[in-house]
A and B are shown apart, each in its own frame.
Chain A
């Protein structure tokens, strides 16, 4: 007798389909853990973990599928068919539709046709309705991205070798929610071309706003309203790099990470000079910057999201970027 009738829907006749106890998942879990630890510490640990996981995973699968793979020895006896209930009246008498005779084409019953038609039409309606909904859900975030150039002000507004905090509306039609900040330094001239460093203030750890490690001179702020972009320029006392308030990432004056979790250097805005005014364009990512000021060597990459490596083996994890 099974005292636990409540847990057994077969009333004690069925056997629980539990796999036999096995120890292999423990080794498999250790392997997986090694892979994750190795991702942080050392690729060799990843390889060791992968081997462990593969071996123990194989053993585990072999153990679990033992019952399925081995064909049961006992011959399956077909029990004499004793009807559990008296046959339904429909079972008596001849079939509703006579069997096709010799040489007659096999008829396709009406019920079958209606069944197929209902399912087919239902499925078709489902697809026709679902496809636009899915498209509307997924596609808009990937089309019509990007923004106009930002007029950051006349070149003379930027003192040489000092960072100016420039905030502006990236998309004026979206309002203050699109306000972005750049740290812009006039590097003087390289040859006869003016040189600027235009850092994005988006932390490349997880996207918090990086702050200037220096005093913003709020009383000297200038405001421009250029086509609704509402640009504000705030000069700073000599900045000693940048810091992020969220998780403590630190950057030097060129945007190279010096401490904390950032994975690359600060993103930068492309810039151009138009009629003596500094125009900010799209943003791009930077793995690192060699040198300083106008002579700096910028290792640039297409824009990647915060926390994503752009170079090295970890950069291979992000082969395709959505349009930004």
Chain B
């Protein structure tokens, strides 16, 4: 392969990067993304710290699969079940998309709980991060509401009666419970309005609210920084401590000094 002159390479690189520079000059977005992605985190964080990003990924999967499922789903009592059957049995890869959305819902909730457990055990909810814990709890609650409202959409016997029980559970709350039940159902009984109402909440209201809260959550994470594990002695940005020298094994001499060190 013939080596090009360095001048040519740089020229080519400049041309390729020009759109990014154009964008950066006018918006500062490139710098912002770089700041977000390459910010300093403690050196001794572990795989436990990926659970938040994993939850975010699960949410994005839910959003994307949900949007394409909405191409074919019909939120109407007479055609909802049939449209779900059509997606699952007739459409190419429909079974896969519906399966991703259905199982991904559980994955989202499970990942959020694991993330919550990590944050709790590491004490990462303490000052000054209490607000982020509260925001996270709100996301979890809204995520579970997504599950409740989405469960009705297949409009089969399981979905219908599970929703009847769920709504009536809300309605047994003292004083305001019966009114809450009526608002949830869109009337005194579950009817055609209920399905459309649940669909709107499931695909517009709650995902929008969750997305907004996720942005707030991430803003607070970036502003306050990632927490070191509780046993950590140093903070984000500090140089990594020297690893201990390799132990001598019997009479075998260790390699040259510093060979195994960073």
**Chain A residues in contact with chain B, CB under 8 A?**
3-9, 16-18, 137-138, 140-142, 145-146, 170-171, 174-178, 206-209, 246, 304-308, 317-324
Contacts and interface: CB of A to CB of B under 8 A. Distances in A.
B76 to A, nearest CB: 10
B12 to A, nearest CB: 40
Interface string B140-152: 0000000000000
A318 B182 CA distance: 14
A171 B187 CA distance: 13
B165 A18 contact: no
B224 interface: yes
Interface of B: 42, 77-78, 126-129, 161, 164-165, 167-169, 171-172, 174-175, 177-179, 181-183, 185-193, 223-228, 233-238
Contacts of B223: 9
A2 to B, nearest CB: 9
A321 B178 contact: yes
B169 A141 contact: no
A79 B169 CA distance: 60
A7 B78 contact: no
B188 A6 contact: no
B192 A175 contact: yes
B77 A175 contact: yes
A141 B168 CA distance: 15
Contacts of B224: 6-7, 9
Query: What's the dominant secondary structure at chain A's contact region?
Result: loop
B176 to A, nearest CB: 9
Contacts of A18: 126-127
B169 A307 contact: yes
A312 to B, nearest CB: 14
Nearest to B195: A177
B161 A246 contact: yes
Contacts of A178: 189, 191
A128 B226 CA distance: 43
B186 A207 contact: no
Contact of A208 (B161, B179, B182): B161
A138 B181 contact: no
A110 to B, nearest CB: 33
Contacts of B236: 5-6
Nearest to A15: B127
B228 A318 contact: no
A177 B190 contact: yes
A322 B172 contact: no
B56 to A, nearest CB: 21
B119 to A, nearest CB: 13
Contacts of A175: 77-78, 192
Given A18-B127, A305-B171, A318-B177, A6 B235 contact: yes
